[in-house]
Amino acid sequence: MVGAMTTPVTLASLQQMMVRGEKIACLTCYDSSFTRVLESAGVEVFIIGDSLGMVLKGHESTVPVTVADMIYHAANVARVGESALRVVDMPFSSYVNPDQALGNAARLMGEGGAHMVKLEGGANKAAIVAHLVGHGIPVCGHIGLLPQSVHKLGGYKVQGRDDAGARALLDDARALEEAGAGLLVTECIPADLATQITAAVTIPTIGIGAGPGCDGQVLVLYDMLGITPGKRPRFVRDFLRDTCSVPAAIEAYVAAVKNGSFPAAEHCF
């Protein structure tokens, strides 16, 4: 039985989990009610994600989400959150240059209660990451499939399938770590590549559609509860279907991440 955490999760404690080989359980979270449920189930990291644009606001992508949206939902989580590390997405066009990024990241932390901000991109965002870290703002990188760039990428496609793409993602991961990123999300990449990236960096990696070789796993909360309309992505498992309640489904997810049964082969690329 998975239990609630008793002490706050920090980047240092995630590093210790990585060293011990203990998997990190992460989910998206957008409001106070789910904050309590997720923390009771033992979820260690919340991503207050711009995915809220799709699952809460009904947009076709994350692009229309604003900094104000992110602050509102992050504050809802922070108001009652006690233990999980809160990682808040910087939305589309909110980090075009270092100074703009710093101003918006400061708002996400000061008004939204973020412990860390997350931005999409690899080596091309290293200077912005370094600028934020240099001003005391912890940063989580995000490589692979970049939802904010879905129009540029031509849709939601697996990234890094060929040798050149794989090398570029490895270089991106190293560049983000060198710039000072403390966490790294890898999305929709081949499982073997995600394992290579995890071995190539010394910061924890959190995978979504990236196989079991990452240090932790994340899913969109509404996806793992099976209530997102439309076709379910390959990397998603509906945990509510086999349980009797939402709290039980979340506990089952945490347990599956911890014991390595999720993601299974059918969830990988």
pLDDT tens digits along 125-164: 999 999 999 999 999 999 999 999 886 766 778 999 999 9
pLDDT of 156: 79
Q: Which of 221, 147, 231, 235 is nearest to 191 (CA)?
A: 235
CA–CA separation, 95 vs 103, rounded Å? 9
pLDDT of 1: 46
pLDDT of 150: 81
CA–CA separation, 269 vs 259, rounded Å? 20
Q: Which of 243, 153, 257 is nearest to 211 (CA)?
A: 257
CA–CA separation, 74 vs 195, rounded Å? 31
List of domains in the chain: 11-261 (3.20.20.60)
pLDDT of 5: 65
Q: pLDDT tens per residue, the chain (269 residues)?
A: 456 766 999 999 999 999 999 999 999 999 999 999 999 999 999 999 999 999 999 999 999 999 999 999 999 999 999 999 999 999 999 999 999 999 999 999 999 999 999 999 999 999 999 999 999 999 999 999 999 988 676 677 899 999 999 999 999 999 999 999 999 999 999 999 999 999 999 999 999 999 999 999 999 999 999 999 888 899 999 999 989 899 999 999 999 999 999 999 999 99
pLDDT of 153: 66
Active-site residues, by number, are 187
Q: Could you tell me if residue 66 is left (phi over 0), alpha (psi between -120 and 50 degrees) or otherwise beta?
A: beta
